[in-house]
Amino acid sequence: MLYVIGLGLGDERDITLRGLEAVKKCDKVYMEAYTSLLSFGLSSNGLSTLEDLYGKPITIADREMVEEGADIFLSEARHSNVAFLVVGDPFGATTHTDLVVRAKKEGIQVIAIHNASVMNAVGVCGLQLYRYGETVSIPFFTDTWRPDSFYEKIQRNRSLELHTLCLLDIRVKEPSLESLCRGKKIYEPPKYMTIPTAIEQLLEVEQMRRESAYSPDTACVGFARLGSEDQMIVAGSMRELLEIDFGAPLHCLVIAGKTHPVEEEMLDFYSLKNNFAE
């Protein structure tokens, strides 16, 4: 059996009772560690905290292991119970769907245990979840790579008066381009996109495209460490959020579409005047 278990967004306590019961009866436990992270990260202390609560040793599964070496734990799942832990919900990333498809094709029984994810937790700001359009990902720009495919999706959402959730880039255990060119992988330090960086890139694309998908005055909501005890939520224009220090990762951004009075009333609790009043 392969259990794909959502851990939620905060810390080790956010696992569901059903998920915890499944972990405790597994012979091997892996934890995916590149599409997201819990509030305390994956330091040795954080990992031992998980292991103490779950009562099992945990093997960290990086991108290479999940995408290229999944045969290892799929093989184990043919003969024993294996848990694959995912921050948020099991199906918050396409990689995990691919894993389940592979397992099912190989005749391995799969049980998914759901949990909270960024996709529904953003509802805390008051923007109604059923009024969101397609979610977009904002990648880090480089000197030679500045993709803008997200622009059309945001433009389409806003033309339909829908909100847009922007997931911001996470780079964990990524090999540097220089090392790949030399034929030897040397990994860059972990890197997490901040809300100001995302807005700078969004405005750069708008300045280049000039199709008025959004502007510095467009209403947005910035989220940091969503689901944790020290989560930070601030509503304001792109221009205003550029000046806010949201602190430690993870960050995400919502670009508001047309809002109705109930949404506006809730958003006001997170406005700059209510969060940073002198």
Whether 117 has a binding-site annotation, put simply, is: yes
Do residues 255 and 214 make contact, with C-beta atoms less than 8 angstroms apart? yes
Q: How far is it, in rounded angstroms, from Cα 274 to Cα 132?
A: 25
SS3 181: helix
Whether 163 has a binding-site annotation, put simply, is: no
Whether 168 has a binding-site annotation, put simply, is: yes
Q: How far is it, in rounded angstroms, from Cα 65 to Cα 55?
A: 23
CA atoms within 13 A on the CB side of 123: 9
Whether 203 has a binding-site annotation, put simply, is: no
Tokens standing for residue 40 = 């305390």
Whether 257 has a binding-site annotation, put simply, is: no
| CA separation, residue 250 to residues 220, 230, 238, 262 (Å) | 17, 12, 18, 28
Does residue 250 have a cis peptide bond before it, meaning omega lies within 30 degrees of 0?
A: yes
Whether 99 has a binding-site annotation, put simply, is: no
Residue with tokens 């995302």: 198
Work out the angle at residue 248's Cα, subtended by the Cα atoms of residues 246 and 251, and round it to the nearest 5 degrees: 65
Residue with tokens 């433009």: 155
| Strand residues in the chain grouped as ranges (E) | 2-6, 28-32, 59-61, 82-86, 110-113, 136-138, 164-168, 170-171, 191-192, 219-224, 232-237, 251-255
Phi, psi (rounded to 5 degrees) for 11: -135, -165
Whether 253 has a binding-site annotation, put simply, is: no
Q: What is the DSSP letter of 192?
A: E
Whether 79 has a binding-site annotation, put simply, is: no
Detail the residues annotated as belonging to a binding site: 9, 89, 92, 117-118, 168, 226, 251
Detail the residues annotated as belonging to a binding site for S-adenosyl-L-methionine: 9, 89, 92, 117-118, 168, 226, 251
